[in-house]
Structure 1
Amino acid sequence: MAEDVVFMAVERIASLVIQEAVFLRGVRDEIQRLQAELGLMKAFLKDADRRQHQDNRVREWVAGIRDIAYEAEDVIDTFLLEVASDTGEGVRGFVKRVFFKVTKVSLFHKTGTKITSIREKIRSIYENMQNFGINKLAEGESSYYGTEQQQLSRRTYPHAEEEHTINLDDVISQLKAKLMTEEKQVRVVSIVGMGGLGKTTLANNVYNHIEVRQQFDCFSWTFISKQFSAREVLVGILMDVMSSEDESKLETMEKEKPVKSKLKEMKEKMELFETMTENDLIKILRNVLEDKRYLVVLDDIWTNEAWHRLRPAFPNGVSGSKVLFTTRNSGVAYYADRWSSPVELRPLTNDEGWQLLSRKAFPKNVLDEGGCPGAYEELGREMVRKCEGLPLAIMVLGGLLAGKTLREWEKVQRNINALFIRQEQDHQFEGVYEILALSYDDLPFYLKPCFLYLSQFPENTEFHKRTLIRMWIAEGFVSQQSKGKDETIEDVAEQYCNELVNRCMVQVSQRDHTGKGVKTCHLHDVVRQMCISKAMDENYLVVLEHREDSTADSSSSSSSTPHLPTSKSRRIAIHPQISRHEQNEMEFYTPRSKIGLQNLRSLIFFVGDANYRMPKEQAAFIFKNFRLLRVLKLDGVRQQHRLPEEIHNLIHLTYLGLRNTGLKDGKKDFSLPASIGNLRNLYTLDLRNNGYFTRLPDVLWKLTRLRHLLVDDDRDYEHLRLHKLRQLETLKSVYAKNLIREGAMQKLDNLRNIGIYFQKTEEVGAILNSSIISDRLRSLKMRIIGSFSNLEPLSRCRQLTKAELGGAIQEYQPPLRHNLGNLPPNLVKLILWGSELKQDPMCILEKLQHLRFLSLENNVYEGSKMVCSATGFPQLETLTLKSFGLEQWEIEKGAMPCLKSLSLSLGKLKMIPEGLRFLTSVRELKLIHMVRCEERVRVVNGVEGEDFDKVRHIPFISFN
């Protein structure tokens, strides 16, 4: 870790010398000398890093260098903070400038003395390391195994997820038999095994098996984890299993009217559940499930208490209903259902383990051509035996070996043997953590801080890739020097994320709209524990846990802070401890003592589904005292008042997350203070989900380094000026008039993701013919009061893969070209609503060869007939048709060959299209408010039926 800390310090100093040249006057020479000496030390760290596992003295030197790099950053950042005080406006600014002129000589001297002291420490360590024989390695030489170029080459070996599984047919058959046995009482079927053994993979395999899907009426899958929220679990299951037909059944419940009035809106806005007690949710879920044969999966359940709280929600239902557990604790399985023996997942055999390892370590074409050379297999099988049959360890080991030479395989094998010799092996699987740690050690230096940063996330948390890489960049983990000619720093950060995925250090939860990129990720529990352990060893990040009995003061409530921060703590993540009882609004833990925390760089809050508030004085304390913060993420922590003026102190802040914080304004005040304009280093500002009353002061134009401005639609932002924000890459929502004002549309030429609201038709031409609409654009959302007359400029957006157009579309433009024909050919996701088209749009849209997601909604088409031709939509996987007057839909054989999900909400459609029988790939069909389709149904996906009652029981069809 020391190498990456020093590297970041050197790069940050180099950046500051350029960007802050005016502020660094007087100490510039000293800072540049410090930069040079840290750079020299970096070359020796490669050798020291690999020796620190063998010698305590080297380990102490490495830790000392890391602390020196931190100290250098602190001195320079503090100096810049003091110098910045000589700027400002009005009388207050004048007073600051006068005071600074008096004190600047003393400040320069004090800072120079500190830098000299740091340089002396560097020289002392440097001499000791040379005396000990630490060698200077070439810049490209690896600190562990192989070169960075070889490590990067693994990116060329992306494997499909199904390639990395082993078919355990015997276990799958056993599990299917248990799930498909019909018994009057609801039974619990459990899969038991240690973390990393593949319980979730097995459960997912069976959950999606076609025979199992045909057995049940409804399904739900939810994660539990140690710190689970019963409310969140119940809401998630309800959202999966509830249909509109269930509402009428609830009329028999006590106090039905207030409950039923909310149910109609629950699917659109889950926040409405917050007003219900846990008992209300249990009562609703019981009523929904009581006449269904259901399958509910509770993945990773830990305690008897967790099942005790959830058990009342599951009635016997229709004969054959099941709850499927995955758990590490066989006692939990027996407690849940003493009459149902759990399925104990076995470790892989050596042959199965080698098969899994080779699939991960070698490209598919090598395996198809006869397998890997025998020397690799001999070494691989020996290493697989050390993994004790644990799939997770084998997968991580495969990621470590991928792309390496035979000589490097031998080095890995020798290192694994050494690790196992040093530890006692009294327990099975004890060596797994060492294998995972070996993969961490193999990470190139630039990936280590990115990986350890993941220790901030609570257990079983899915994190969004975009948010994560923005935080990485804000922390300084992503090097500007790594950019290619046409790349942004976000592209480099995304490559970092992909490499962690390819190494199996991070697991993909959801793919993005392209089906290839990553949308959300998570850490396997075993990997997360290793990540937390490493982060603690490196004084990298401290996790504080809020409890309902905390006093919100670290000095007086040890129960709320199991791992108190130290003077070396650079980052704090605060996790909630969910109450066992009803969760009322309460004060969230916030550090109130600045002792040891003056150099804090990140403060990150996680609140789960609890309702926490932050008093104004607590927010003011943060802004006043933690002035070196770079990342402040308050998402979900409700603010009692608008943010205090003291926010102007955080001049180093690069990421400010205020999502769902309840920011509101009074009749005249803005939700944010004007002093936010002082945050000149801000890179990301996230203000989403703050209600309809959020107002912003017209100072954002001062944030000239801002790259991501994330705000909600339909807010009072018309007054904002944006013309100086030339680095903006993401602008989630903006009025067209903001872009036209002061020529901003010609200056914001770096935009990749933008949402535009047009109030007049004449605004469209000005925007679409500007620099904003360029080859850089990836995602575009446009809404209009009026109509889109000419979409021809969109045809130039070759990188555009995601588009949403809301509003009328004039169908033809001279010379008689259909306006939809101007959509760029690389579109993958398209949403159209309110288009008022007279001609069938399918004949144009089905020619988009890469389209995977299409949604046509809300009066998008005024005709009565629509046709999908035999060669149309070759890649389409998801299709939604909603709320327009279609009466007849013809689907020719060969159309939409890849369609998996189809959702129809068309009140005038006379019959379910007979052509659905050709769509054999469909796995999910939702029919919403389609009463007329009950009259007669022909053939659906090979299942014949003459009436509605037969078709409604096809397992992948849901009637909502």
Structure 2
Amino acid sequence: MEAAVVSSTEGVLQILLGKLGAVLAEKYVLLSGVGREIQELKEDLEIMNACLRDLAAGTEYHHSSEQIWFGSLNLLRQLIRISLRDPSCSREETLKDPLRGIETWNISEIIGRCRAHLEDKRYFIVLDDLWSLEDWENLKVAFPDNDKQSRILITTRNRNVAESCCSDSHDLIYNMEPLPFEESKKLFYKKVFKLDKCPPLCQDLEVISDSILKKCSGLPLAIVSIGGMLARTKNKTRAEWEKVCDRLGSGLEASATIGGMRRILSLGYHDLPYNVKACFLYLSVFPEDYEIKRGPLVRRWAAEGFISGMHETNLEEVAAKYLDEFVSRSIVTPTRIASTGLVRSCKERNSTAHDKIQRLSIQTDGSGSDREQENNNTNFSHARSLLILRCSKKPLPISFAHLKLLRVLDLEGCWWLSNEDLKEICKMSLLRYLCLRRTNVSKLPKLVGRLKELVTLDVRETSIRELPETATQLGSLKHLLGGRYRHYTRIGRVKLFEPHEALMIPCGLKNMKSIQKIAHVDIASSSHAMQELGALSQLTKLCAMNSEYGGEKWKPFAASLNMLCKSLRHLSIIHWRNRDMGLEIFLELKSPPIFLEQLYLWARLSVLPPWILSLSYLIELSLRENFFDGELLRQLGKLPSLVSLKLYHESFIGTKLCFEQGLFPRLKQLIVDNAPNLDELRFDGGAPNLERLTLAFEREPAKGIFGIENLSKLKEIEFFGEIIFESLVEEMIAEAQMHPNRPRVYREN
């Protein structure tokens, strides 16, 4: 379990301390090797804690035996594992192998066993990226010189290390040459312009680009980093590029040192605008290798004031641009990307953010140790942000009454949180971000109306069903998130929100003028609020559900929808009682939301609302249980911007699904789930840019799938669901092997 209290006054070593909690927080499914990993991380933590205590006490910490542990000892352990273990042995044999207890061996025992194992063998060992002379001195005694023509290959960035590794004149140091200048130019232009050479319209940049490349000294990492930064600049002018060149200084021109490399790479950070730089530094609040979700991240950025003053732009759009900026500069690595290209989640690529700012991270395993008691007694009254990550059910001794200065409070997953705690939390007058997701709270107190600065309120996956009347006094609120979901059983990535768990919003919604996102609201129990919905001129995202029979409840909602025609970008309509008609009111909207980018429609309709075919900005369309046929597909194929089409559970009931020439010009993702009558799926020139095809069938199509060879950009074919027809999978694998793009064919999970 990890609890992080963000502060700008304290700094501690965080790289190793974060690993143990991340592993132990996972479910205890100890497959091969995981148990040992946990033990090693536990030892890492114990030694790091001891080191920190010694440093705090002023104790000298220069004993070589301890320093050896962090690098050389683990490397030797891995070497012994690789050389002694037979990868083909069974689990029973593994339990009896000679490596049991290796975690407890000291350095002398490991060296002795390594030498004994290699003594009578001819070996070839590769040590990649060796950094220090000390590491080599510690390691080399484990490799016996046994006159059997054994060899050790070492790669290093430090020539002194290379020279030290050479025992006599017969050893060879091979200097890796930098890229030739012409190859450097090709790599640079490919990164900046996606071309092998400078385009004709930018010939004035060629001279200055030569100067930049000279300072990169032919090192690919430096070239790619600078090229990525320049690719993101809006105005590719000679003056802007000269500024970049001047800031590089001598760079790597004199010598390709690590310091020079860091100077080159740090420019990617220093060149960031100040507000983007603040967003980047905020990444350090997360443990290393932690998957950071885009939605909560941007909302925290907004709460911290990093994206303030941009009234004309949706905050999530700004955040997407920031994340794109980080990705292009190799600052973060995307872990999940939507079909539209939006980065859904990411991980920090290295510890740059941790090095740039100071922070305080308190971690506990709930054991009641002296260290934990010391943390409990720490005064956090000055803290601005409190995030509890990977929390267990065991309560943390937090006194919310003392945290009066908090702006951000994220308690996701803290099941020990009570309704009584909320009363203290609602007294935090400066609070701008409050996340109670997946907690055990069941009711918001009336005091919530005091949080006048609150921008985000997240009560998803809680038992909170109704907002108090005082909630409508939250004039600064922009994100109201509620409801509970379950994963769609046929494909785990799809979330189905439960209409009977949606939020009931009281009368007075019109007072929440700043609100941009509402998810998910029950229109049946919020009829007065639905009449006021049209007054929310900044509303861009709305998910509405009806938990009752009949279409009467949709009438005030549809009337308000006419008033939101210019602001809405994302709309979800879920009519839970799918056997009941009554949604024809949506067929004749006088002023439909013409700027929609995402539409999710779960309802039975006799025909598709005609205004959907006029949505020229629509990027993603998800349909469920709509009972449409092939004629609908031909109409949807004319949408000019459609990138993702998801046909879930009985949305298509025809026998032939054909993508004809000229249809779906920009489509990249197609999901077809349970088309009950489908006999044939054809690609006859339509969807030329399709990259991912996802299919689920309850019965095998009688005729099959045709035209895969026409999808020149296809990358993945995925089969999912409870029934997977092996003959169809094998057929697609054969097709993929002949496809020029070699798409990957796989089953879900």
Task: State the TM-score, normalizing by the size of structure 2.
Answer: 0.67
Q: Is 1:897–2:688 an aligned residue pair?
A: yes
User: Aligned to 2:604, what secondary structure does the other structure show?
Assistant: strand
Q: 1:735, CA displacement in angstroms?
A: 1.0
Deviations 1:369-417 (A, max 9, x none): 2855564144213320296855565456756998576566566555544
Residues 793, 440 of structure 1: alpha-carbon distance in 2 compared, 3 angstrom cutoff: same
Counterparts of 2:370 and 2:555 in 1: how far apart (Å)?
55
Moved more, 498-507 or 870-879: 498-507
1:702 corresponds in structure 2 to 473
Counterparts of 2:180 and 2:340 in 1: how far apart (Å)?
37
8 A Cα contact 1:396 1:505, kept in partner? no
Which of these residues, 378, 386, 395, is aligned with residue 603 of structure 1?
Answer: 386
Q: 1:836, CA displacement in angstroms?
A: 3.0
Residues 355, 896 of structure 1: alpha-carbon distance in 2 compared, 3 angstrom cutoff: closer
User: Aligned to 2:215, what secondary structure does the other structure show?
Assistant: helix
Counterparts of 1:783 and 1:932 in 2: how far apart (Å)?
29
2:362 corresponds in structure 1 to 544
Counterparts of 2:648 and 2:267 in 1: how far apart (Å)?
52
Q: Is 1:796–2:588 an aligned residue pair?
A: no
Residues 309, 602 of structure 1: alpha-carbon distance in 2 compared, 3 angstrom cutoff: farther
8 A Cα contact 1:810 1:819, kept in partner? no
1:636 corresponds in structure 2 to 413
User: Aligned to 1:461, what secondary structure does the other structure show?
Assistant: coil
Counterparts of 1:498 and 1:805 in 2: how far apart (Å)?
29
| Greater RCO (CA < 8 Å, at least 6 residues apart) | 2
1:31 corresponds in structure 2 to none
- 1:873 is matched by which residue type in structure 2? F
1:735 corresponds in structure 2 to 522
User: Aligned to 1:472, what secondary structure does the other structure show?
Assistant: helix
1:415-494 matches, within 5 Å, as 415-417=247-249, 428-480=257-309, 482-483=310-311, 486-488=312-314, 491-492=317-318, 494=320
Which of these residues, 345, 349, 356, is aligned with residue 524 of structure 1?
Answer: 349
- 2:360 is matched by which residue type in structure 1? V
Q: Is 1:877–2:668 an aligned residue pair?
A: yes
Deviations 1:234-286 (A, max 9, x none): xxxxxxxxxxxxxxxxxxxxxxxxxxxxxxxxxxxxxxxx4x53249989xxx
8 A Cα contact 1:874 1:896, kept in partner? yes
Q: 1:682, CA displacement in angstroms?
A: 0.5
Q: Is 1:614–2:395 an aligned residue pair?
A: yes
User: Aligned to 1:762, what secondary structure does the other structure show?
Assistant: coil
User: Aligned to 2:616, what secondary structure does the other structure show?
Assistant: coil
8 A Cα contact 1:379 1:409, kept in partner? no
Counterparts of 1:347 and 1:685 in 2: how far apart (Å)?
56
Q: Is 1:349–2:349 an aligned residue pair?
A: no
1:923 corresponds in structure 2 to 715
1:141-220 matches, within 5 Å, as none
- 2:434 is matched by which residue type in structure 1? L
Which of these residues, 783, 788, 797, is aligned with residue 574 of structure 2?
Answer: 783
Residues 939, 895 of structure 1: alpha-carbon distance in 2 compared, 3 angstrom cutoff: farther
User: Aligned to 2:262, what secondary structure does the other structure show?
Assistant: helix
Counterparts of 2:128 and 2:600 in 1: how far apart (Å)?
42
- 1:443 is matched by which residue type in structure 2? L
Q: What residue ranges of structure 1 are gaps of 5+ in the alignment?
A: 1-65, 68-224, 234-273, 284-301, 318-324, 558-590, 813-817
1:705-724 matches, within 5 Å, as 705-712=476-483, 713=497, 714=499, 715=501, 717-718=503-504, 720-721=506-507, 722-724=509-511
Q: 1:364, CA displacement in angstroms?
A: 5.7
1:769 corresponds in structure 2 to 559
Q: Is 1:854–2:684 an aligned residue pair?
A: no
Deviations 1:135-172 (A, max 9, x none): xxxxxxxxxxxxxxxxxxxxxxxxxxxxxxxxxxxxxx
Deviations 1:634-660 (A, max 9, x none): 223332533512112201100112223
- 2:415 is matched by which residue type in structure 1? R
Q: Percent identity?
A: 21
- 2:199 is matched by which residue type in structure 1? D
- 1:778 is matched by which residue type in structure 2? R
Counterparts of 1:874 and 1:837 in 2: how far apart (Å)?
21
Q: What residue ranges of structure 2 are gaps of 5+ in the alignment?
A: 1-7, 10-17, 36-72, 91-125, 143-149, 158-175, 484-496
- 1:633 is matched by which residue type in structure 2? D
1:754 corresponds in structure 2 to 542
Task: State the TM-score, normalizing by the size of structure 1.
Answer: 0.54
Residues 492, 279 of structure 1: alpha-carbon distance in 2 compared, 3 angstrom cutoff: closer
Q: 1:706, CA displacement in angstroms?
A: 0.8
User: Aligned to 1:835, what secondary structure does the other structure show?
Assistant: coil
Residues 312, 632 of structure 1: alpha-carbon distance in 2 compared, 3 angstrom cutoff: farther
Counterparts of 1:362 and 1:700 in 2: how far apart (Å)?
50
How big is the alpha-carbon RMSD for the aligned residues of Structure 1 and Structure 2?
4.8
8 A Cα contact 1:836 1:860, kept in partner? yes
Residues 871, 703 of structure 1: alpha-carbon distance in 2 compared, 3 angstrom cutoff: same
- 1:880 is matched by which residue type in structure 2? I
Which of these residues, 461, 465, 481, is aligned with residue 689 of structure 1?
Answer: 461
Counterparts of 1:479 and 1:653 in 2: how far apart (Å)?
15
8 A Cα contact 1:681 1:705, kept in partner? yes
Counterparts of 1:490 and 1:919 in 2: how far apart (Å)?
32
1:250-329 matches, within 5 Å, as 274=27, 276-279=28-31
Residues 314, 696 of structure 1: alpha-carbon distance in 2 compared, 3 angstrom cutoff: farther
User: Aligned to 1:809, what secondary structure does the other structure show?
Assistant: coil
1:863-874 matches, within 5 Å, as 863-874=654-665
User: Aligned to 1:780, what secondary structure does the other structure show?
Assistant: strand
8 A Cα contact 2:298 2:319, kept in partner? yes
Counterparts of 1:464 and 1:625 in 2: how far apart (Å)?
29
Alignment length, in residue pairs?
A: 597
Counterparts of 2:690 and 2:152 in 1: how far apart (Å)?
38
Deviations 1:74-118 (A, max 9, x none): xxxxxxxxxxxxxxxxxxxxxxxxxxxxxxxxxxxxxxxxxxxxx
8 A Cα contact 1:399 1:504, kept in partner? no
Q: 1:753, CA displacement in angstroms?
A: 0.9
